[in-house]
Amino acid sequence: MSDSLGDRVVLVTGASSGIGRATALALARGGAKVAAGARRRDRLRSLADEAPGELVVLELDVADPESVNRAIAATVERFGRLDALVNNAGIMQNGMILGADTREWVSMVETNLLGSMYAVHAALPHLIEARGAIVQVSSTSGRIASLGSGAYSATKFGISAFTEALRQEVTGRGVRVTLIEPGFVSTELTSHITDPAMRATAAEIAQSMRTLAAEDIAQAVVYALSQPDHVAVNEILIRPTDQVR
């Protein structure tokens, strides 16, 4: 894999909004061939309309291993190979542990943790062949847990653990692994919170600081994927200047 994005084939999961959408666009603008996966077809269509160059959209549910396998196969079929996976799809449904609706825990674990593990599992043979790269989107919540984020944080701590084991397994085969840990980014992420108090807290946090934009994280992904072969950017922690914890 070379140090320019040109002609590289990159699959971005969760590309229908927020960080994934901005990343897919930044990669396409940099000359990469992009496969953009998510569940909402209308949003993917608007991404395809906006993106320059070669971008294909794929219906993808990361919580379903068969859907993940199909998306990887479709990417390789369309572009002939896979050079990088940006493992970004995720949901956040914050709330207290006491009295929690455990179905929300299940969907966070299935989407954020298992979903990203399925994507690594399906993509890895192709990435080894290409001596490619994997960008794992975790969070500051994968480093510091806080009140009301127990289940979400558990998924993000899990991603960090899986990522380090993955890095040790594949770096000797030329596959570079990057963990990205964003702080507060203005996206639709908080719109799935069902607990009214938690929603209010999220809105207050957003009002209290100059939050990051999805494009700020997209630039970090582009940076990681643009390094020469001998440089592995293993971790990027990126907070808004105004975010204390």
Q: How far is the CB of 59 from ligand NDP (least distance, A)?
A: 9
Quote the least distance from Cβ 241 to ligand NDP, whole Å. Answer: 15
Which residues are at the interface with ligand NDP (CB under 6 A)? Answer: 13-20, 38-40, 43, 60-63, 88-92, 111-112, 115, 137, 139, 182, 184-185, 187-189, 214
> Measured between alpha carbons, how far is 38 from 133 in angstroms, rounded to an integer?
20
Q: Does residue 223 have an active-site annotation?
A: no
Catalytic residue, chosen from 105, 118, 152, 184, is: 152
Rounded to a whole number of angstroms, the minimum distance from the CB of residue 216 to ligand NDP is: 11
**Smaller CB separation from ligand NDP, 1 or 13:** 13
Residues classed as catalytic: 152
